[in-house]
């Protein structure tokens, strides 16, 4: 593609054109010398739909370790040999304390638990935490595994507005990453949440050995599901997991992937989460110019992240700002 072709495609997308599989494959194969032009188009799309406002979210690891699933990337799996923390559901008092102490400009707070699904009694306690929390500046999310309709309904009635459940990778690559449940089970959980009127947040992890074709396959799966937000992670290899031997992605590869997601999902939030500093290193501020419209601030599940003050300073330096709730 010529430099002007990237902006031309981006403008067509802002006018309603839907990028094709071939478009996305071509974009992903952009040579390094043309990366700035690829990002310029992605940035144009982001600015069209979101302006300078950046979504900021944070999570709490509310139940850690002893997971019976064999996800190849996860330090919390029983199949991994790591030093990941192990503890049961923390209970409503700690969750309420964390909700009430959130900085005002964090828009969403997600409670995340390990395991196939959170048991019913813990779901009910989490619902009570939502009801008792006193923070009108934040919306509630949760990532609690393959919940059924009844449990999701309980949480929705208590104030949950978005459910998070990552697909992790492309359907064709998923069996290489997890064998203890199917890709379709993840799809079914997202569809159940959507049928109940919850927004759905679903993305995955890049850098797990997927091909260009699988990056695009994954992206088109997210588009078909019409997800509301795409948490975008880049693998931080952890010793003791099945993927612990891999190297992180090059920064330019990460920026290409973010850009392709934006060309494919122009109006959806693309939220950069785990691995942004580890993989992008000095280039990590460029995620917004590659099309990202959000970041997760604070620590992740078992790895360290950037603190809130650092991220607010970064946005100011880039003439961006936290989005209004």
Per-residue pLDDT reduced to its tens digit, 145-182 = 999 999 999 999 999 999 999 999 999 999 999 999 99
pLDDT digits (tens, 9 = 90+) for 175-220: 999 999 999 999 999 999 999 999 999 999 999 999 999 999 999 9
Across residues 291-310, what is the average pLDDT?
80
Across residues 263-288, what is the average pLDDT?
94
Count of other CB atoms within 10 angstroms of residue 137: 13
Which residues 6+ apart lie within 8 Å of 129 measured at CB?
Answer: 92, 93, 95, 96, 99, 111
Q: Which of 203, 278, 209, 277 is nearest to 242 (CA)?
A: 209
What pLDDT score was predicted for residue 104?
83
Between 205 and 297, the higher pLDDT residue = 205
- Give the Cα separation of 150 and 118 in Å (integer): 12
pLDDT digits (tens, 9 = 90+) for 116-137: 899 999 999 999 999 999 888 8
What pLDDT score was predicted for residue 302?
59
Q: Write the CATH number of the domain with boundaries 21-27+45-322.
A: 3.20.20.70
Indicate the domain borders of the chain.
Answer: 21-27+45-322
The CA distances from residue 174 to 53, 179, 180, 183, 261, in Å, are 34, 8, 11, 7, 19
Long-range contacts of 47-51 (CB under 8 A, 24+ apart): 48/14, 48/266, 49/14, 49/266, 49/267, 49/293, 50/269, 50/293, 50/323
Across residues 74-82, what is the average pLDDT?
85
pTM of the full structure: 0.95
Exposed e or buried b per residue across 162-193, where buried means at least 16 C-beta atoms within 10 angstroms of its C-beta:
bbbbbbbbbbebbebbbeebebeebbebbebb
Q: Dihedral through CA 209, CA 214, CA 220, CA 226, nearest 10?
A: -30
What pLDDT score was predicted for residue 324?
81
């Amino acid at each position: 593609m010529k430099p002007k072709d990237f902006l031309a495609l981006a403008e067509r997308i802002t006018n309603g054109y839907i990028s094709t599989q071939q478009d996305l494959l071509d974009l992903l194969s952009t040579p390094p010398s043309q990366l700035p032009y690829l990002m310029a188009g992605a940035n144009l799309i982001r600015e069209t739909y979101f302006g300078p406002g950046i979504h900021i979210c944070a999570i709490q690891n509310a139940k850690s370790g002893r997971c019976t699933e064999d996800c190849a990337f996860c330090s919390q799996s029983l199949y991994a040999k790591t030093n990941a923390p192990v503890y049961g559901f923390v209970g409503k008092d700690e969750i309420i304390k964390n909700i009430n102490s959130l900085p005002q400009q964090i828009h969403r707070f997600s409670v995340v638990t390990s395991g196939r699904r959170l048991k019913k009694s813990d779901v009910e306690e989490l619902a009570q935490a939502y009801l008792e929390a006193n923070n009108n500046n934040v919306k509630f999310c949760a990532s609690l595994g393959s919940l059924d309709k009844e449990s999701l309904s309980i949480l929705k009635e208590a104030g949950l507005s978005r459910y998070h459940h990552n697909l992790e990778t492309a359907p064709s690559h998923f069996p290489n990453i997890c064998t203890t449940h199917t890709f379709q089970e993840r799809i079914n959980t997202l569809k159940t949440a959507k049928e109940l009127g919850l927004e759905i947040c679903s993305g995955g992890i890049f850098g797990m050995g997927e091909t260009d074709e699988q990056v695009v396959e994954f992206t088109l799966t997210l588009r078909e599901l019409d997800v509301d937000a795409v948490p975008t992670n880049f693998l931080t290899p952890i010793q003791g997991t099945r993927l612990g031997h891999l190297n992180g992605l090059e920064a330019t590869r990460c920026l290409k992937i973010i850009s392709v997601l934006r060309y494919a999902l122009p109006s959806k939030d693309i939220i950069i989460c785990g691995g942004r500093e580890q993989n992008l290193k000095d280039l990590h501020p460029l995620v917004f110019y590659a099309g990202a419209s959000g970041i997760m601030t604070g620590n992740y599940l078992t790895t360290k992240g950037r603190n809130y003050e650092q991220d607010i300073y970064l946005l100011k330096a880039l003439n961006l700002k936290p989005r209004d709730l």
